[in-house]
Amino acid sequence: MKPKVAFFDFSSCEGCQLAILNCEDILLDILNLVDLVEFRMALTETAPRYDVAFVEGSIHRDEDIERILDIRARSTYLVALGACACIGNVQARSNFVAPAVNYGEIYGEEARNRVQVDPDYWDLWSHTRVRPIDAIVKVDAYLRGCPIVPREFLHLVKSLLQGTQPFFPPNAVCVDCKMNENECVLERGLTCMGPVTWGGCDSICINSGYVCDGCRGTLPHANVEAHIELMREHNIDDRDIRSRYRLFMGAEPIGRGV
Amino acid sequence: MSYYLATKKELIDWIQRLAAENQLYFPEKHGEASYRFNRVGPKSEIQFDRYIPTVVPPVKLLVPAREELLRFRTDAEGKTEVQPSLDTSFRVIAGVRSCDLKGISLMDLFFKDGVPDAYYLARRENTAIIGYSCNTPCDESAFCAAVDSLDHTEGADVYVTPVKEGDLLVEVKTSLGEKLTAGVDWKKCEDPEARRIGAVTARPEPFGRSFPAPLPDTMKIVADKYQSAVWEKHVKRCFSCGTCNLVCPTCYCFDVVDDLNLDAASGNRSRSWDGCMLPHFAEVSGGHNFRAEPAARQRHRVNRKFTYLPEKYEHGAVCVGCGRCGRQCTSHIDIFDIVTDLIQEGSR
């Protein structure tokens, strides 16, 4: 029997699911080997149990918690799909600002007060509790990045179909950068999150002339202290350093700590 | 062996002629202050004067960052066919400095040891190398003289030394070199040794950085300092990002993976660079990691260059002093500083 596969999303742009739909050259071969039972973006059916659930998006509201618990209970293997599900992503920046402050800034004093006194707006406070899905449920595999790397998706799918252990080396983005012979952007005085960030992305941003923003999350062995010290040596002030750590990593322990 | 005296223009014209007929690689400016060994095309700039060691050493052309080793396919009867993916295309690497020449000579030694590495040798045997001697240290990171690689010429088919009066002494060292220089109309050089000595003695002294102890003593001190506070000192700033391994001309470790296609009958085997500073490098089945701490990994790496491999191959230091690891380390951890600290720790 073909394994039953489902896709779900929480707070996200659904770009990672789109990235999967974009794997056109191999997608039909995969679909011959699995039974796709739920995929809001491409399918209307639903199913009671899943062998593999791919979950995109971050957790904000109590309803999200109930739903992710339900998905977990019905899934044998659960994959966090993309930066929102893995680390919370950019929306976790709202963890550091009260909704009333945002409303006040955009809609004025009256709106600021309304958000605080009108119970219809209290749900907004859930956006100060943006969490990755592993804050609620056990995750069996992480497909990192904003968006995910199709090669890693394929590696995971093949490993699951072939019964082998998927492996994503816990190496910094610097490894990808060196393999691509990039000039180190830190040497040019730019702030790069590469030394503390999970690699495997082929350093695509640096190859294209940008820096690493850390969308794949901090490495388990990340030497954050040294990284902050290094940025200070490059005359980057602490406010900017904090902002860099909270761009993608705001919901991670390190993003909360800096 | 033939000796010529060529002008800079004659040499560059020759390299461009070779590049028109062959895959030729030369250090090309890249980014703000870096160089890469790039394939030379009609518009590439060939210049020898401004140079610091490339981001990645030229040995990348012999062991690429990622390479397919073989393809396999099992047919309906269960017979498996294996097709090795050997690269035997001819190429020329030009502008290779002595540090990198020594790196390649050492790689020859490592990859021929035990079961010779067919993939490395297929490329190596089809590669011509044009070396170039350094008159001045490339920058303040280099310490090639301290590890005896400043005048390394072995491995080059043609070796070029800038001599006095703006001439270049061209030594043709192998029959492949003779083939590459066939038909050149350069002036024959009658007194190559005198010219070479002239160039060598005109160099600054000391040439680049030098250790506070002679090399044999330095190597003995590194070996004796298995327990030392120095191993904890520099790694405070270490990200375990493996840059020092990946840019090293004598780091050869790789990881091999099999990739089975969705048909479960065909696939390929490939290898990619690995490095002993990476946290999972010494992790084994079951999860035990023999060098879980960065200090243990750094000690291992430094000893590989100054103790383990020199002992195994009865060779001098396996560090060529190119300075890449220190230059490119995001935290500026420099193997030269580590070794210097080990030497000075004993004398205090």
Which of 23-42 (A) contact B at CB < 8 A? Answer: 26, 29-30, 33
* Mean pLDDT, chain B, integer: 96
Whether the pLDDT of residue B337 is over 70: the answer is yes
Residue B341, both tokens: 């600290």
Measured between CA atoms, the residue of chain A closest to residue B330 is A186
Which has the closest alpha carbon to B86: B114, B38, B59, B118?
A: B118
Does A141 share its domain with A186?
Answer: no
CATH assignment of the domain containing A77? 3.40.50.700
B241 in contact with A, Cβ within 8 Å: yes
**What pLDDT shows up at residue A43?**
64
pLDDT at residue B192 greater than cutoff 80: yes
pLDDT at B14 > cutoff 90: yes
- Residue at A65 is within a domain: yes
Residue A69 counted as domain residue:
yes
Q: What residue ranges in chain B does DSSP mark as E strands?
A: 2-6, 23-30, 34-39, 66-74, 80-84, 91-97, 127-132, 158-162, 168-172, 187-188, 254-260, 266-273
Shared domain for A29 and A135, answered yes or no, is: yes
Tokens of B189: 């050089």
Which of A26, A178, A192 has the highest number of chain B CBs within 10 A, making it the mutation to test binding with B? A178
Q: Give A77-115 pLDDT, tens digit per residue.
A: 999 999 999 999 999 999 999 999 989 999 999 999 999
Residue A39: per-residue pLDDT: 82
Task: Give the pLDDT score at A1.
Answer: 84
Residue B346 has a pLDDT of 67
Nearest to A170 among B55, B275, B280 (CB): B280
Q: B242 — contact with chain A (CB < 8 Å)?
A: yes
Q: A187 lies in a domain? A: yes
* Cβ contact, residue pair B240, A230, below 8 Å: no
Q: Is some CB atom of chain B closer than 8 A to the CB atom of A45? A: no
Within 8 A of B272 by CB-CB distance, chain A residues are 179
Q: What is the spatial distance between Cα B219 and Cα B214, in angstroms, rounded to a whole number?
A: 9
Asked if residues B129 and B93 have their Cβ atoms less than 8 Å apart, the reply is: yes
Within a domain: A167: no
Q: What is the mean pLDDT of residues B114-141?
A: 97
B55 contact residues in A (CB cutoff 8 A): 178, 181-183
- Cβ within 8 Å of residue B27, ≥6 positions away: B35, B36, B37, B38, B51, B54, B95
* Cβ under 8 Å to A: B residues 54-73: 54-56, 60, 65-66
Q: Do B242 and A179 touch (CB under 8 A)?
A: no
Kindly state whether A86 is in contact with chain B, defined as any CB-CB distance less than 8 angstroms: no
A254 reaches B (C-beta below 8 A): no
Residue A179 lies in a domain: yes
Q: Vertex B65, ends B64 and B69: CA angle to 5°?
A: 65
Please tell me the predicted confidence (pLDDT) of residue B241.
97
Residue A168 included in any domain: no
Q: Which domain holds residue A204?
A: 173-257
The number of domains in chain A is 3
* pLDDT score at B347: 59
Average pLDDT, stretch B301-314?
A: 97
Q: What is the pLDDT of residue A47?
A: 75
Alpha-carbon gap, residue B181 to B34, rounded angstroms: 30
Provide the pLDDT for residue A42: 65
Strands B80-84 and B66-74: antiparallel
Do both A137 and A65 map to the same domain?
yes
The structural domain count of chain B equals: 1
* Domain presence at residue A80: yes
Instruction: Provide mean pLDDT across the span B29-52.
Output: 93
pLDDT of residue A203: 98
How does pLDDT run across B152-178, given as a tens digit for each residue? 999 999 999 999 777 999 999 999 999
Is the Cβ pair A223, B239 closer than 8 Å?
yes
* Residue predicted with more confidence, B333 or A25: B333
Does A139 lie in the same domain as A14? yes
Range of the domain at B161: 2-347
